[in-house]
Chains A and B, each alone.
Chain A
Amino acid sequence: MSGLLVLLCRLAVGGVFIYASLDKLAHPQAFAEVIHHYRIVPMALLHPAALLLPMVEFVVGAALVLGLGRRGAALILAVLLLVFMGGIGSALLRNLDISCGCFNTDGGHGVGLSLLWRDLGLLLLCLPPLLLRNGGPGFERTPHK
């Protein structure tokens, strides 16, 4: 039962992150502009962040779906979601009228409270793969004792 729950959470969160990474990987310049609109990341880190972040989303999302290092993957994605929520929250506090850049770099959803709720939901879905002993079917070499 818990294995099934963990599997569903892994597929949902991992799938969302893989999907979210694809457009950003294809358009790093546009994604850098999206990050710049948040006015949080310093200019020196803007392009490295625009290159690294989508790849982390893709690799870690794929690892979670496949069950490879699912605890580490769930931990990274949970931290990423907290960072995203912080970015969205700060944009809301500063009344920035920008697109979130969550799934595509060409316009898309504007930042709003609904995004915070969505990220909170994804964050909760990260907890079963992180906390439960039974990781469900996957490529985990040995169950964690």
Chain B
Amino acid sequence: MALSTPPRFELHLPWSVSLKEAGLLLVVSMLATGGWWLSSGARLPLQADSTVYELELEAPLLSVTEALTFYDEGVHLFVDTRDETAGQTIPGSLFIRAATFDDDLLENFDFMFPEDALILFGNGNLTRTSNIAARLKARGYENLHILQGGLSGWQSGGGDISVTDQSITDESVTDQGAGS
């Protein structure tokens, strides 16, 4: 029986096998994606919020998951930008609000330095929080992030909440105007 030597680079493309394998791999990928998505703590919503992508924000967005990590590390400062605090905030937050911006900055003068990494959060209104970021940048604060989803996103993601008695007064609003 004569042995035949196969060519060194024999071409062979069985399309049915290739497509079957490709289909199987795609199904596995989809199942893995579903499992990954379901098991992640703070899930990326399946429906994108167009306002998040179409706004020109003054600082990059930070997901709740990343913010929770930074919170645990204790390196970043959290800045509450809401006028109405509704009695709750992220523990240890400083208050910098549009209507009382200058007073708040002065009050936090000894705690908040331009080189600090700040995470700004509001009530989910990104434009409003971004405006605060712009004013902080004008004062030399460069290391800024905006917490996506604001305080409610933080709560949904399992972040700690503390009760505060900080709230803006009508008098202080009248004193400084409505801010930017």
Bound Cα distance A25, B35 (Å): 13
Bound Cα distance A71, B36 (Å): 26
Bound Cα distance A58, B148 (Å): 27
Bound Cα distance A124, B116 (Å): 48
List, in ascending order, chain B residues with CB within 8 A of A55's CB: 29-30, 32-33, 36
Task: Choose, from A39-47, A83-91, A95-103, A113-121, the stretch at the interface.
Answer: A39-47
* Contact (Cβ within 8 A) A59 B12: no
Closest to B30 in A: A52
**What number of B residues sit within 8 Å (CB to CB) of A?**
36
Q: What's the minimum C-beta distance from B71 to chain A, rounded to whole angstroms?
A: 17
Q: What's the minimum C-beta distance from A112 to chain B, rounded to whole angstroms?
A: 23
Report if A81 contacts B (CB, 8 A).
no
Q: What's the minimum C-beta distance from B58 to chain A, rounded to whole angstroms?
A: 15
* Contact (Cβ within 8 A) B11 A132: yes
* Contact (Cβ within 8 A) A47 B32: no
* Contact (Cβ within 8 A) A51 B20: no
Interface set, chain A 10-55, CB cutoff 8 A to B: 25, 27-30, 32-33, 36, 43-44, 46-48, 50-52, 55
Contacts beyond the supplied A46-B53, A47-B44, A133-B10: 6 A-B pairs with Cβ under 8 Å: A29-B148, A72-B17, A72-B18, A132-B9, A132-B10, A144-B14
Q: Which 7 A-B pairs have the closest CB atoms?
A: A72-B21, A69-B21, A72-B22, A133-B12, A71-B18, A55-B33, A46-B48
Which residues of A does B touch, CB under 8 Å?
A: 1-2, 5, 25, 27-30, 32-33, 36, 43-44, 46-48, 50-52, 55-56, 58-60, 63, 69-73, 75-76, 130-134, 144
Selected A-B contacts with CB under 8 Å, 24 pairs: A5-B9, A27-B63, A44-B48, A47-B46, A47-B48, A50-B44, A51-B33, A51-B37, A51-B44, A51-B46, A52-B29, A55-B29, A55-B36, A56-B25, A58-B32, A60-B29, A69-B22, A72-B19, A72-B24, A76-B22, A131-B12, A133-B6, A134-B10, A144-B12
